[in-house]
Structure 1
């Protein structure tokens, strides 16, 4: 079976862009909340969440798919998990709810384990 690199790249970009669709309403909501005086902490958290997503998007946008679905999955998921860790760290910096803070701590631990597993797997695979 021949893999269409353009189709694979388009599919990968669609996966990456999906969180941006989620973020668009949050941007509008964040703007209205700041106008009503929600405070600097909420604005700092929102900026931190968006920075984490933008970093992931920058890192994956320049990466050409290898044509190997398994390798591309592992590579992109490692970046996706790192974005989750970055967002969890923002929660720990700005969040106050004990349940969400606990979840953020668990996300960091679990996603670090996943990244380690993905990188180990990638290190055993041929480059292409």
Structure 2
């Protein structure tokens, strides 16, 4: 019974923490990709980050939200990976990757039905946000 009560409280807390977010909120809007990770002169607007050949009209709302998050993640990842410094490139790429994990988790919290999956998504969000903060501090300190 105690385990069920804990599960119920955790589920309500997870849902409540996202109830205040607008429908289109994502990791990209709640956590900013560090400026020092962006590559100068790289025009990301010309990148084709389409829906992997699947017509958007045939996608569910869940799939559309997932694709939008992946598009944002890949654009930032490519920006970071273009850095000439291997360490900076790695950390910037990981920040983008973690932001993508948060975005995927937010989509799960919004559209998912399984309480266990939603709990996993909430854990991912909490862990990845902490790591992004640590990595962003490193970027601010180390990037020239």
Query: TM-score, normalization: structure 1?
Result: 0.63
Counterpart CA distance in 2 for 1:64 and 1:105 is 28
**CA deviations over 1:39-91 (Å, ceiling 9, x no partner):** xxxx1111111111101122233456232211111111101101110110000
In the alignment, structure 1 segments of 5+ residues that lack a partner are 1-19, 35-42
2:76 is aligned with 1:59: yes
Change (3 A) 1:69 1:79: same
Counterpart CA distance in 1 for 2:81 and 2:123 is 31
Count of matched residue pairs: 93
> Counterpart of 1:46?
63
Counterpart CA distance in 2 for 1:55 and 1:126 is 22
Task: Map 1:25-104 onto structure 2 (within 5 A).
Answer: 43-63=60-80, 65-104=82-121
In the alignment, structure 2 segments of 5+ residues that lack a partner are 1-48
Change (3 A) 1:119 1:46: same
Q: CA RMSD in A?
A: 2.5
> Counterpart of 1:105?
122
Change (3 A) 1:51 1:126: closer
